[in-house]
Structure 1
Amino acid sequence: MERTNDSILTEFVLVGLSAHPKLQTVFFVLVLWMYLMILLGNGVLISVIIYDSHLHTPMYFFLCNLSFLDICYTSSSIPLSLDSFLTGRKRVSFSGCMVQMFLSFAMGVTECVLLGMMALDRYVAICYPLRYPVIMSKGAYILMAAGSWISGLVDSMVQTSLVMQLPFCANNVINHLVCEILAILKLACADISINVISMAGSNVIALVIPLLVISLSYMFIAAAILRIPSTEGKRKAFSTCSAHLTVVIIFYGTIFFMYSKPKSKTSVGTDNQDIIEVFITLFYGAMIPMLNPIIYSLRNKDVKAAVKNMLGRKKSLMDYK
């Protein structure tokens, strides 16, 4: 553990899969492939939404934000994991760890709030279709998206600043793949009650309130769909929010599984626990961002049509040249 003369911690050591060196190559290839798919899938989705004027609506504006958010979130943590898998370097500077933690936490909170905003958008679209253009004006949905980003950045700034004020006296080994805030708090050699209270408030803002908004929105949406007389009308109404509902279930389901499963009492878990931790981290940090554009593309005829039009136009331009 490296320290300066005044005993200030200068770096952390990430455990990751140190106990499984043979698996590191496998995970490097897997994570690299997933990261490239995330960049490709979300990049294509953003390009399609910007390219096709028919998709310049609040729903696709939020979806564009979600795709950009997934790229930012994975880029804040996956490169660090890839470097660790490939080179075996487990050390990260204190400042580098804080920056990575800040970005990951900010993107995570922003995604929670953004999913809540997307649920509100679907609620207005289905329950108040005639007033939808007025309620969800350009100024309104831009403000909703900006609020999501600001809430994530401010919340993360508060949590990170509180962590940076803590002293780390004896242990700098993080039992995780990345600089995760809960894993870092375990290393502090001071009272973390303020951090615990602050994290509880953050959970209310980032998890409880958005989930409550999503649940209430879909309760009203379900009631509105049931009142539609025709089966075709019910199917069309449900199809407009099925992709978002699928993403919400996977996203929040993974979060609750991560934080509700029993933790090892020791600082370093067993071999099986370490591998399980890695799988859960990868699913939450890489699999979900990779699945999001696939879910929205497969369940959305407008997106598939826009992709075909964009590819068709590019092919025509190439043939013309």
Structure 2
Amino acid sequence: MLPSLFMLFILIVLPIVTIWMLARATYKTKLEWLLDAVKTVALVAWLVHTQPWDWIGYYIRYLLVILLVVALFLSWKKVNALPFREKYTTKRTNTMGLNIVLIVFFGAITVSSIFSYSVKDKAIELAFPMHEGTYYVGHGGNHTSMNYHHAYDDQKYALDIVKLNKIGTRANGLQPKDLTKYAIFGDELLSPCNGKVIEARDGLQDMTPPEMDPEHPEGNYVALQCEQHEATIYLVHMKEGSVAVAKGDTVTTGQLLGKVGNSGNTSEPHLHIHAELDGKGVPLTFDGRFLVRNQLVKAGGK
């Protein structure tokens, strides 16, 4: 429950309070307003761009942007006739200094996340392994600010993918224990390429969120050797009893491999997919897209 409450505070309470304070505050100069406004913009940009929105609602982040624009307009109307600057009290100087620090902090994180969108290493082109629904990239990209896997050499380009329901969340509830309340649980997992199964495992139970199984990190999984690359493609955390292929099988693109579950070292149902070669992560693209956190993939035209 604590992680859920923390997410609510960070993604909803913090930005709304900050935006409300911008709209309601009294300023003596345009410079004072400008620093407060830029700080608020930097905070909202950081939240909207780099934070995961599948818990609270993918589309809520656009509402924050609208509220921010309204607050900027209303506050500017109040300061439009004020001088740009004047002599400030120590208290106001300290407040302005704090705003500058926050601008630099949130701005630096947001700017660094831009590096997530490009990669120099040659990527493996795959078919998206789901065939119906709207899928959300929870972790992905070429920087730790958007993808925690990037800190690990063998998984640096790994993706964590969930499915969004009709209201734009990954589950009915913040962190339900019932696996069927997660939109992706039980979805068919398809082969992303023509190739050969080099590893496969089934028989491990699906964990009850937020319990995890660190002794079997992959859980039930399939590892593929695609025709177009030497790297091994891992699709992990599959549903118990669903793995439909075995080691040595030949598979074709779109063939059923199993279903998405919650086995292994995972706190909730999702698809983890990554490629590695000689202990190094290899980037993946789907229909030419290098996927990054907060991007959507609409499979099957839905």
TM-score range, shorter chain: under 0.3
Point out the structure with the larger helix share.
1
Q: Give me the TM-score of the superposition, normalised by structure 1.
A: 0.24
Structure ranking higher in strand proportion? 2
Larger RCO, structures 1/2 (Cα 8 Å, 6+ apart) = 1
